[in-house]
Structure 1
Amino acid sequence: MDQLHTPPSPSTGADRAGRRIYDLLRSQIAEGTLAAGAQVPSTRALAADLGVSRTTVTAAYEQLAAEGFLVTSVGRVARVASPLAAAPRSNAKPQRRPGTAPSLSAFGRRVAAIDMPGLAFAEPCRIDFLYGAVASRDFPALAWRRAYQAELLRHQRRLYYVAPEGDASLRRSLQGYLRRARGLACDAEQILVVHGSQQAIDLCARLLLNPGDAFVFEEPGYLMARRCFESTGAEALAIPVDAQGLDTARLPKDERARLAYVTPSHQFPLGGVLPIGRRLELLRWARTHRAWVVEDDYDGEFRYGQRPIDALQSIDTDGRVIYIGTFSKALSPQLRLGYLVLPSELVPVFRQAKRLTDRHAPVLEQRVLASLIDSGAYERHVRRTRRAHERRRAALLDAIARHLPPNATVIGAAAGLHVVLWLPFLRPQDEPALAAAARIKGVGVYPVSPLFAKPPSRMQPRPAGLILGYASLTVEEIDQGMRVLATVIAAGKPSQGKVVPGRADRL
C-alpha cells in the first residue's frame, strides 16, 4: 500500500483528507498505476495506514464508485473499473488540428462573421463621454432599498417560475405609466417584460425575419440592432435620415422589406424627431406591405423644454407597431429590464419564444419596480434626473461653444442623453486617431462612423463626428473634458497626416 501514501499536508479537516484520497486514487487509476480490475485496499486498512477515519475513506470510495472509477458490492473488495471509466482529467485545452474550424449552424456562422467594435474599455477614462452610461449617484438607492426589502420580506407560498410575459404587477403598472408618460394605450396582456431592449430586438429579429428577407434601417442607426437583424440572414436597406429622422419618401416600393426599425422620438444617434406627416406615411407603408414597424423608444422620457413626444404606437390603428421600452436610461443599464408592447396577434409567439429563451426576467426586481411606479416614486425620479441631465446638457453645449473651434456643430441636443459633435475640419477616417489621442489624455470620446452602414463618398461626403454622452458626468467634468478635447484637436493628430483645423461648410 506504499503507493497510496500521501505527503504531509497542513490540512486537518476530514473533507480535505477525503478529497486528497479521492484525487490520489483517481490519478493512479488514470495513469495505470492501479490497473483495470485491480483490488484497492479495504477502507479499514487504508484508514489505518493513512491515519484518518474509516468514514473519510468510505466517502472517497463511494464518490469514485458513483463516478464509475471503482466497482463495489457488499461483502466484496472494491476493484478498479474498466479503463474507459478511468479517462484522465486535464486542465489543458483540447488541441484542434490546424486549419479546422468549429462546426456551427448557419446562424452561428453569421454571428461569428459579424464585425463589431470592441466593448468599451474595461478601465474607464478619468472623464468618459460614454453614451449609455448614467451616473450611479442618480440611482434612487433609498427608494429602491425600501421597496426591495419590503418585497423580499413578503411571504410567498412557494418559489417557482412565473409566466414568461413577466410579473402581472409590473405589467399592470406599465400599462398605466405608458398611458400617462407616452400617450400609449394598451392592455397589460400586450406587454412582455424582457432583459433590456437588446433582448426585445433579438426576439423581433428571430421571430419576424428569415434569411433572404430585407429590413428597413435608419442610416446612421443603432449598430447592435442592425447586426442583430443581419444575424438572421436578412439584408439591411439603409434609408438616410435628416434633421427630421427617417426619410420616409425613400421607403422601398416593393415587397422585400418585412420590417422597419426606427427611433422616431429621438433618432439614434443624430437626434431628429419624426414629424406627424412622416409617421403617418410610415404607418401607411407598413399597412400596404404588411410589414412590421419596430419602435425603439430608448430614451423617450428625456426631452428638454417641452413634454416628451408621444410614441408612434399611440397612433397605430392597424396593429403594425411593436413598441420597445427600457429602464436602462432612467435607472441603470445594469438592471437589464425592458419591455415590449406587442400587437395582439404577436403576443402568443413572443411569449413562447421568451419562455424558451430564459423562462422570464428576474421576478423580485420586477415587483420592486412595480412598487416604485405605483407609489409615484419612479416618475418623481424621472423628473428629478431629467432636471439633472438638462443641467449637464447645458454645460456641454456651453463648453463646446467656449472651447472648440467655432465651426464645430452640435446636433441632437433637444432630447436624450447624448449629442453628436460634427468636426467639419476633420475627415471620418480621422475619428479613431482623434479618440485615441483624447484617451491618452484621460478623456473618452466615441466616433460616429461605425453607426453608418455605408462609408462616405464624394457624392455624399460627411465630416468627422463624435458621440458625446453626458449623463454620467458632472458639470465640472464636462467642462474639463471639452478643454482637453480642444487641445487634442489643436494638436492635429489624426492618422492620415497632420490636419490643421480650418473652416468648412456645416452640415
Structure 2
Amino acid sequence: MSGAQAARANGAGRRIYEHIRAQIAEGIWGVGARVPSTRALAAELGVSRTTVSAAYDQLAAEGFIVTSPGRAARVAAVAAGASLANGTLARRATKHRPAKLSAFGQRLQAMRFTPMPASAPLPFDFLYGAVGARDFPSMSWRRAYLAAMLDLQSRLYYAPPEGDEGLRRALAGYLGRTRGLRCLPEQIVVVNGSQQAIDLCARVLLDADDTFVFEDPGYSMARRCFEATGAQGLNVPVDEHGLVTQDLPDDHRVRLAYVTPSHQFPLGGTLPIARRQELLDWARRQCAWIVEDDYDGEFRYGQHPIDALASLDTDGRVIYVGTFSKALSPQLRLGYLVLPTELQEPFQKAKRLTDRHAPVLEQRSMAALIDSGAYERHVRRMRREYERRREALLGAIARELPQGTEILGAAAGLHVVMRLPLTGLGAELALITAARRRGVAVYPLSTSFATDARSSPSQGSAFVLGYASLSSTQIVEGVRLLGEAVRELSGSVLD
C-alpha cells in the first residue's frame, strides 16, 4: 500500500470510529445493542474490512463496544452520568461538592501573584530578570552541549538528585575563586533555578506555626514560597545599606531569614560587614537558618564583587542560593544550593521527591563551560557590557527626567530603582499607562512591599528598571519616551 493509500485508509477508519461513537452518544445504539459486523459495514461503505476492524479495535480499547472471537460486537455500558458529545466525554450538569483543596492548596488559591508580562514585549521593555538573547554565548554552549550528547552513556537512567558530580566539582572551584566561598562538592545540590532552591528551603525548614524574617521590600516570589507553608512573615525594613539588622526580632518561633546581602532586591544596598556579623550572631542565638540569595552577585561595577555572606559563616547557619539565570538565561533553569553539612541529606531527599534531578545534559554542558574558563570569560565580558548599558541609562535619566528624580541601587546588578517626583494615589498607574502608549514598559516598586505601598500618596512613584535585555540605543530612546510621559502627567492633577 502506498503512503497516499495508507493515509486515505486511516482517514476512513477515523470517520467510521467517530460516526459509531456519535451514534452511541445520541442513544441510537443503546447499551447491549449489536453493531454491524466488520464484513457488512465494509461492504456498505465501500472500504476494506481491515479499515473497519481497526476502527472497531479502537472503540473496544476505549470501552465503547465489547468484542469477542466468533460473536457480534455489542455496545458497552457507558459510565453512569456521562454523555458523549463532539468526540469528548462530557459530564452532565449535576450538583456536586466543590473541589476540596489541601491547606497548602487553599493558601495558594488565596495568594495574589504579580501578572506575568505579555509574551510580545513592547519595543522598550525595562523588564527586570530578562536578559538579551543576543548576549547568550551560543557557540560555546553549542560546543559543550554537543560534546555532552556525544559522550555516550552505557545506559539511560535517573541521575543523582544532588546533581552531576562534574558540575558540583566545577561549582565548588568557581565559588571559591569568585565569591570567597570555600565548600565541598558534597555540599552542593543542583536545582531548577533559584526559585526551586527557595521552595525547597520553605518545604524542608518551615512549618505552619513558624515565622520567618523577610526584607521589606523584597523578592515577592520568595515571600510567596515561605507563606505557602503557612508560616508567618516578620517584615524587617531595608535602608540604603540593606537589611536593618537592629530590627531583627527576638522571637523563638523564627526558623529562618531570607536575605539578599550582596545586592538587596530591589533597592540595591550592599550589607556592610558590621551588619553581616550582627545577622550571623542573631542566627546563632535564634538557632535560625539564613537563606542567602546571591541572585546577581557576579555583576558589581568599578570594584571586585563582594564576597558571599556564607564565606563568613563559621557556625553552619547559612544556606547559599546561586543561579545562572542572570549571567546566561532564566530559561536555562539551572541553579544550586550550598548547604551546611547537616542539611545535605534532607535537601537531597526533598529534591529527589520533587523532580528526581535537574536535566543532565544541561548540567554537563554547564560544567564544561566552567572548567574551560568560557563561563568566567563570558561573565567578565557581560560585566563590561552591562556597565555600558547602565551608564547609558543613568545618562538618559539625567537628561530626560525631571529634577528630583532619585536613583537607587546603581552600583551593582542588572536593574536600578527610579523614584520620580510624582505624587498622588493614581500617579503610578497613570505613568505606566502613559508610557505604554509610547511603547515603553515600566514596572512598579510597590509590588515588592509586604503591604500596598500605593496606599500612601506621599511615597511618590518608584519603578524597577531592568536594562539587561535592551541595547544602549534602546535604553536611551526608551528613557526619552518615558520622559515625554512624565512631562505629560506633570501638568495634570493626579489623585
Q: TM-score range by the shorter chain?
A: over 0.9
Shift of 1:427: 4.4
SS of the aligned residue for 1:405 comes to coil
Listed as ranges, the gaps of 5+ residues in structure 2 are none
Matched, 1:443 2:440: yes
Give how far 1:454 is off.
3.2
Distance change (3 Å), C-alpha of 1:108 and 1:86? closer
Match of 1:246, as an amino acid? Answer: L
1:372 aligns with 2:369: yes
1:116-135: per-residue Cα shift (whole Å, max 9, x none)?
22111232111111111111
Aligned to 2:192: 195
Letter matched to residue 79 of structure 1: R
Whether contact under 8 Å (2:425, 2:455) holds in the other structure is: no
Number of aligned residue pairs: 489
CA distances 1:437-467 after superposition (whole Å, capped 9, x unpaired): 1111111111101111134599995332111
Matched AA of 1:298 = Y
Is residue 193–residue 340 contact of structure 1 (8 Å, CA) maintained in 2? yes
Work out which of the residue numbers 55, 71, 94 in structure 2 matches 1:76: 71
User: SS at 1:272's partner residue?
Assistant: coil
Structure 1 residue 356 and structure 2 residue 353: aligned? Answer: yes
Partner of 2:36: 41
Deviation, structure 1 residue 13: 2.1
Partner residue of 2:335? 338
Letter of the structure 2 residue corresponding to residue 452 of structure 1: F
Uncovered stretches (5+) of structure 1, i.e. residues with no partner: 1-9, 501-507
- 2:26 counterpart letter in structure 1: E
Q: Deviations over 1:145-199 (max 9, x none)?
A: 1111122222122222111111112111111111111111111111111111111
Structure 1 residue 420 displacement after superposition = 0.4
After superposition, the CA RMSD in angstroms is: 2.4
How far apart are 1:253 and its partner, in Å? 1.3
Distance 1:427 1:225 in 2: 29
Indicate the residue corresponding to 2:280 in structure 1.
Answer: 283
Alignment TM-score, normalising by the size of structure 2: 0.94
1:22-171 aligned at under 5 Å gives the runs 22-84=17-79, 87-90=82-85, 91=88, 101-171=98-168
Query: SS at 1:89's partner residue?
Result: strand
Report the Cα distance in structure 2 between the residues aligned to 1:25 and 1:456, rounded to whole angstroms: 62
- Please give the secondary structure, in 2, of the residue aligned with 1:197: helix
- Partners of 1:197 and 1:326 within 8 A in 2: yes
8 Å Cα contact 1:428-1:449 kept in structure 2: no
Deviation, structure 1 residue 261? 0.3
- The answer on whether the counterparts of 1:30 and 1:87 sit within 8 Å (CA) in structure 2 is no
Separation (CA, whole Å) in 2 of partners of 1:457 and 1:136 = 34
Deviation of 1:306 after TM superposition, in Å, equals: 0.6
Say whether the 8 Å CA contact 2:446–2:454 is kept in structure 1: no
Secondary structure class of the residue paired with 2:451: coil
* Structure 1 counterpart of 2:107, one-letter code: R
- Does the 8 A contact of 2:261 with 2:294 survive in 1? yes
For residue 72 of structure 1, give the secondary structure of its aligned residue in structure 2.
strand
| Secondary structure of the corresponding residue to residue 109 of structure 2 | helix
SS at match of 1:163: coil
Match of 1:470 in 2: 467
Q: Give 1:254 deviation, angstroms.
A: 2.1
Q: Partners in 2 of 1:381 and 1:148 — Cα distance?
A: 17
Matched, 1:210 2:207: yes
Residue aligning to 1:174:
171
Residues 84/417 of structure 1: CA separation in 2 closer, same or farther (3 Å cut): closer
Q: Distance in 2 between matches of 1:489 and 1:211?
A: 45
Q: Deviations over 1:335-394 (max 9, x none)?
A: 111111111211111111111111111111111111111111111111111110000001
**2:10 paired residue number:** 15
3-state SS of the aligned residue for 2:396? helix
The code of the aligned residue for 2:183 comes to C
Aligned to 1:484: 481
Of the structure 1 ranges 11-20 and 67-76, higher mean CA displacement relative to structure 2 is found in: 11-20
Whether 2:282 is the aligned partner of 1:302: answer: no
Q: SS of the residue aligned with 1:32?
A: coil
Match of 2:323 in 1: 326
In 1, Cα distance between equivalents of 2:90 and 2:218:
40
- Give the secondary-structure state (helix, strand or coil) at the position aligned to 1:419: strand
1:48 is displaced (CA, Å) by: 2.1
Classify the secondary structure of the residue corresponding to 1:20.
Answer: helix
CA contact 2:33–2:75 (8 Å) conserved in 1: yes
Find the aligned partners of 1:78 and 1:458 in 2 and give their Cα distance.
70
